[in-house]
Amino acid sequence: PEPTATPIPTVTPEPSATPVPSATPVPTMAPEPTIPPPASTGMTSEQDQALIELCRSQIGIRYVYAAMSPSVGFDCSGLTSYVYKTLFNITLPRISYQQAVYGTAVSSSDIRIGDILCFDWSRNDGITDHVGIYVGNGRYIHASSSNRTYYDDCGAVIESTVIFGRSPVVAIRRIIQ
């Protein structure tokens, strides 16, 4: 008998990925690095100047407890409230110790025009009882109940010097970021 050929097993090849010619590759541009916006600088120089001018225009206005207008008078928080409402349409809390927690705390080394200085003049208990607005160069404007420069019977809005370390500043608050 004739030898029979042994069938050779056939293997079906696995499908393989055949490279497909592609169009000319388009170079991809690396994305621009994302640069965060600069930290806020607060007020513009024009706003700084307007704030200083408005504050200084109030010097000599009578101190009147709980008042907040040039026609009647000011107490300390009434003056700060008036300035921020007039220039920026911002309504501050009405009482000094409430203003001492409004806005953002800043250090004396970072103080800028428009920041609110919060003092503890009366009891030395760390609770704000007086506020004023910083106008630059170590100066602030506030409605003083005790200064008798303008009136014999009451205080008035005055400009004073703050001496950090000697003045009882308990907080500095930035209203406009």
pLDDT tens for 70-124 read 999 999 999 999 999 999 999 999 999 999 999 999 999 999 999 999 999 888 8
Residue 75: exposed, middle, or buried by beta-carbon count in 10 A (0-12, 13-18, 19+)? buried
> Using CA atoms, how far apart are residues 86 and 147, in angstroms rounded to an integer?
25
Query: Encoding tokens for residue 87?
Result: 């220039």
Confidence band (pLDDT; 50, 70, 90) for 141?
very high
Q: Where in the sequence numbering do the catalytic residues fall?
A: 76, 130, 142
> Using CA atoms, how far apart are residues 14 and 5, in angstroms rounded to an integer?
27
- Whole-model pTM? 0.76
Of 29, 61, 46, nearest to 145 by C-alpha is 61
